[in-house]
Amino acid sequence: MAYSAEKLNEEKVFKDPVHRYIHVRDRVIWDLIGTKEFQRLRRIKQLGTTYLTFHGAEHSRFNHSLGVYEIVRRISDDVFFGRPEWDEEDRILTLCAALLHDLGHGPFSHSFEKVFDLDHEHYTRAIILGDTEVHHVLTRVSADFPQKVADVIAKTSKNKLVVSLISSQIDADRMDYLQRDAYFTGVSYGHFDMERILRVMRPREDQVVIKQSGMHAVEDYIMSRYQMYWQVYFHPVTRSAEVILTKILHRAKDLHEQKYKFKYDPIHFYSLFNGEITLEDYIKLDEAIILYYFQMWQEEEDPILKDLCCRFMDRNLYKYVEFDPAKEYKKLAELSALFKKAGMDPEYYLVVDSSSDLPYDFYRPGEEEERLPIHLLLKNGDIRELSRESEIVDAISGKRRTDHKLYFPADFIADDSKKPNIKKQIKMLLEID
Amino acid sequence: MLKDHAKLMHAIAVSEEIVGRKKLQKMIYIAKNIAFPFQERFQFHFYGPYSEELTLRVEELCNMGFLNEVKEKKGGYYQYRYTLTETGKEFLGINAVDMPSLQECLLDMNGQNARFLELVSTVLYFNDLPKEEVKEKVFTLKSKQRYTDEEVEQAYQYIESLREKAGLH
C-alpha cells in the first residue's frame, strides 16, 4: 500500500480542550507529529508574551498546529468528502500543510524576526525542504511531495482551493487560534459557532465558499476576531512586554557589535548576531533557551541589558500613554533629548508601538488589493461577496483601526533622587504625575 | 523612533512620486530584497510579494498627514498617487534617513511599469530556485500576465543592473 494511503491499525487520539479530541488515522500524519522539528513546537508559546497579561496563555504552537489539522481533517472527511469539486487526491496534501503551517516559528517570533531580520515562513519552507526528519517523512509520500506542501503553505501552489483552507479570511488557522486563544486566556470573546461554519462550507474550483444560510455564523466569527484582536492580541500590557523583549535582543546585538565581553557567553545567539544562522542553529532555538539567557543576563555588567532582563523576568514592565505621531512627533524629539539628559537612553527607554487591524476586507477589481474575500453561495447557485449581503460586515469592511502608544519606565522617571528638574519636565510632557 | 515610517517616507521622497499601490509594493520589496533595510514583511499574494505591513504603514502615513494620496479614476478602476506633504518633509528633516544609492535604484524602478516590476519581484521571491524552476513558477502562478521567456530573462538582467547600482558588485 502506498505510504500516503497507509492507516494506523488503531486510530490515535489527542485530548484537546477546544476540539475535545484530535483524531489521527493516517500513518504520515502520525509520523510527522513524532518528528523532532514538530515536537519543538511544544516549546514555543502560541501567544508569546501574552502570558504576562493573561496568565493562562501558556499554550504552545504544538497545540494550535494539531487544532488546525483537526479542523481541516473534519472539513475534508466530513464535509467535502464525495463532493464533485473536491479531489480526494488533495486530502493528504491539505492535512500535511495544515499540520505543518507554523513549523518555522521561532521563540517569541515577532521580536526575533524584527531584530534579526528573520522570516518564519522562510524557515517553515527550509525545514520542509531541508535535511530534516519532517522532510524524510514527506519524501516517503513522493519525491516532489515536500515541495507541494511547502507551496501550499507559502501560497505559491496553483491549487487555490487547498491554499484557501489553510490561509484566507476564513480558514482553519484562524478558526483554531481564535477559539484556542479565547479558551486559554479565559476571555469571553473569540467564541463562534464553528460547527455551523464547517457544515456550510463548500468546495469550489479556486476557493471555499459558504452557503448563504451560514452567513450569520460567519458574521459572528468576524466580530469575534475583531474583539480578540483588541482585547487580547493588542493588549497594552502584552505590548509593553513585547517592547522590552525586543529591546533586550537589540541591546544584546548592539553589545556584540561593540565587542562587549558577556559574562555568560551567548553561544546560541552568535549566528543570529552575525546574520549567518543555519537551519540546524535555528531549530535548536526555543523559549527555554532564550529565557535561560534572560535569567543569566540579569547579572551582566552592562546596566541596560541587566535592567531590561530584570524587568522582563520580574514583570516590571513599561507604562504607557496614548500617542498621536502626527501631532506629537516634535514632542517626541523633545522627550528624546530630555531622556538623554536624564541618563536614560531613549533608544531603549522611550518606545512608540503601534497596533492595527483590518477586521475584513473585500476585493476591489483594479484597486490593486490583495485580500481574497469571503464568498457566499446563494440558493440559485450564484456566488456573492459577503459584505454585499451582510449589513454588519459591510459596516466594518475595509475599516482599519490603528492605535499608537508611547512606552517608558515610569519607575525611573518617578525617581527624583537624580536629575529631578529634567524628570519634572519629562513628567509634564508625558502628562503623568 | 518611528524609524520604519521615516524609511518609507524617504523612499517616496527620493522617488519624487509613486503612482499605483502595486508599484509601491513591488518597489519596496525589490529594494529590500536587493540590499536596503526595510522592515516590512512580505508574503506571496495575487500580484506577487505583498506586504500587509507596508499597506498599513502607508495608510498610517496618510492619516498622519505625512503622505499625500490622490485617488484617480483610470479606465474602469482607481489608482493612487503618493507624494510627501510639507509636514512629511518637515518630519523627515528631523528624522533623517541615510540609505546611499537607494535613490538611484528607486528612480530606475519608478521608470518601469508595474507589470514588469511584478515579474521582477516574483523572480526575486523564487530566487533560491534554479532559473528553469523560476520560469515554471512564473508561467504557472502568473499565467494571466502571459510573461514570455524573453521577459523573464530581462527581469534577471534588470536585477543584476539594480545590484550594480546598489553597489553590490
Q: B19 at the A interface (CB within 8 A)?
A: no
Q: CB–CB of B137 and A113 under 8 A? A: no
Q: Which residue has the higher pLDDT, A313 or B166?
A: A313
Q: Per the structure, how many domains does chain B have?
A: 1
> A405 near A352, Cβ under 8 Å?
yes
**Is pLDDT at A367 greater than 50 in this prediction?**
no
Q: Is A329–B78 a contact, with Cβ atoms under 8 angstroms apart? A: no
The top-level CATH class assigned to A236-355+404-430 is mainly alpha
Give A230's DSSP letter: I
Which of B23, B40, B44 best probes binding to A when mutated, by most A CB atoms within 10 angstroms? B44
Domain limits for position B161: 3-165
On the question of pLDDT at A362 being above 70, the answer is: no
Give residue limits of the domains in chain A: 3-200+212-233, 236-355+404-430
DSSP A397: B
Residues in chain A with CB shorter than 8 Å from the CB of B64 are: 325-326
Taking the C-alpha atoms of residue B6 and residue B99, their distance in angstroms, rounded to an integer, is: 11
What is the C-alpha separation between A142 and A135, in angstroms, rounded? 11
Cβ contact A325–B65 (<8 Å): no
Q: Does B21 touch chain A (CB under 8 A)?
A: yes
| CA A313 to chain CA mean position, Å | 22
Chosen CATH of A3-200+212-233 out of 1.10.3210.10, 1.10.340.70, 2.40.160.40, 1.10.540.10: 1.10.3210.10
CB contacts of B22 in chain A (<8 Å) are 368
The string of pLDDT tens digits covering residues B45-83 is: 867 899 888 988 898 899 888 999 998 877 777 789 999
- Whether residue A326 and residue B22 make contact (CB cut-off 8 A), yes or no, is no
Of A114, A326, A356, the CB nearest to B64: A326
Q: What is the pTM of this model?
A: 0.89
**Given this model, what pLDDT does residue B73 score?**
79
DSSP annotation of A108 reads T
Tell me what pLDDT residue A138 has. 98
Bridge-based pairing of strands B43-45 and A383-385 is: unpaired
Q: In what order do the strands lie in the sheet with A201-203?
A: A201-203, A208-211, A375-377, A383-385
For the CA atoms of chain A, what is the radius of gyration? 24
**Which residue from B19, B17, B41, B21 is spatially nearest to B29, judged by alpha carbons?**
B41
* Residues contacting A100, CB < 8 A, separation 6+: A32, A38, A65, A124, A128, A134, A149, A153
> Per-residue pLDDT tens for A40-54?
999 999 999 999 999
